[in-house]
Amino acid sequence: MAEKPRIAFFDFACCEGCQLTVLGLGEPLLKLLERVEVVTWREAMSERSDDFDIAFVEGSITRDSDIPRLRRIREQAKVLVALGTCATLGGPHVSANNCDRGELLRLVYGGEGAQFEAGEVRPLSAVVQVDAFIHGCPINGDEFLTVANHLLLGKAYHPPSRPVCHECKLNQYECVLDRGQICLGPVTRGGCDAICTSRGSQCFGCRGLVDDPNLNAAREVLAEHGYTVSDIIGMFDIYSLRSPAAAEARETARQDRGAIEKGAEPWRSR
Ligand code: SF4
Ligand code: SF4
Ligand code: SF4
């Protein structure tokens, strides 16, 4: 890499909130900018260059016409970082993959829908190799800085694999399940310091499922509060629709529904 690594930001289908999170970092961002040269960042500057070392790429791939641009970024970048859950998992609009595309286009654009290209919603890794993942909708600014520091030191970054419950309990936040709200914290990847539950909101799973989520333990926690996996299945699909673990959860919910219809308590039988 050049003496000062050259950094570029790019975006595909998304709300650009993760780039905004980086822009809003304040003093820590100014310190980082002493160590790098930002050469492209549409949200922050008008200059641009195709000569960069590290690419932070936000957004998901929703159109085949996006693919050549992403591949060009990949060819140029020594390191490509997926920035935010749209880029790492597909983002909230990944749930559109559950719907008929033509019907969705008609719903949103009426008779004009047919002119728009809208394909399967995919994370970046479905198209190119990704070197580091920063999950979150939006990302956690501190984690962005941690990843940037790792890259500048030439170290690999591995996102946390502990669930949000771990951070929630460490902070001694009140469990929202006790207040009658359903929460995905038991199976969602931590690293956000349980920011939503700190403010009394449930976790919607925006950082995706933890590696190897313990669905049986989650069912027990839910069952203790009178819920089943079926009750939360739609929440899994908001961010983790493409994940094999989410497919497993759907299958678990299907089995539970069958067992409940027969009068069993499925969470007690495994
Ligand atoms: S991950 Fe969320 S905040 Fe970030 S760009 Fe996508 S929709 Fe916006
Ligand atoms: S279920 Fe939700 S609110 Fe309860 S401890 Fe886990 S993350 Fe916190
Ligand atoms: S608590 Fe859940 S929804 Fe909120 S930021 Fe963390 S992972 Fe995302």
Closest Cα partner for 81 from 2, 11, 23? 11
Closest Cα partner for 18 from 129, 131, 140? 140
- C-alpha 12 to ligand 3 mean position (Å): 22
pLDDT on residue 266: 39
pTM value is 0.91
**Ligand 3 close to Cβ of residue 195 (< 6 A):** yes
Q: Over the stretch 220-266, which tens digit does the pLDDT of each residue have? A: 888 888 888 788 888 888 998 888 888 887 887 777 766 656 655 43
Kindly report the backbone phi and psi dihedral angles of residue 190, in degrees, each rounded to the nearest multiple of 5, phi listed first. -75, -170
Of 192, 197, 199, best ligand 3 pocket probe by most atoms within 8 Å of the beta carbon: 192
- Gap between the Cα atoms of 217 and 211, Å rounded: 14
Structure tokens at 119: 């394909």
Domains assigned to the chain: 6-152 (3.40.50.700), 164-268 (no CATH)
- Gap between the Cα atoms of 231 and 64, Å rounded: 35
Closest Cα partner for 32 from 42, 44, 17? 44
- Angle of the 229-240 helix axis to the 215-224 helix axis, nearest 10: 130
- C-alpha 196 to ligand 3 mean position (Å): 6
pLDDT on residue 50: 95
In the 8-state DSSP scheme, what is residue 228? -
Q: Over the stretch 158-183, which tens digit does the pLDDT of each residue have? A: 999 999 999 999 999 999 999 989 99
Q: Which ligand 2 atom is the nearest neighbour of the CA of 168?
A: 8
- C-alpha 28 to ligand 2 mean position (Å): 30
Q: Which ligand 2 atom is the nearest neighbour of the CA of 176?
A: 3
Nearest CA to ligand 3 atom 2: 203
- C-alpha 28 to ligand 3 mean position (Å): 23
Q: Provide block-wise average pLDDT over 10 residues at a time, the chain (270 residues).
A: 88 98 97 97 95 98 97 98 97 91 90 90 97 98 98 95 95 94 93 96 95 83 85 86 84 71 46
- C-alpha 238 to ligand 3 mean position (Å): 12
199: CB partners within 8 A, 6+ apart: none
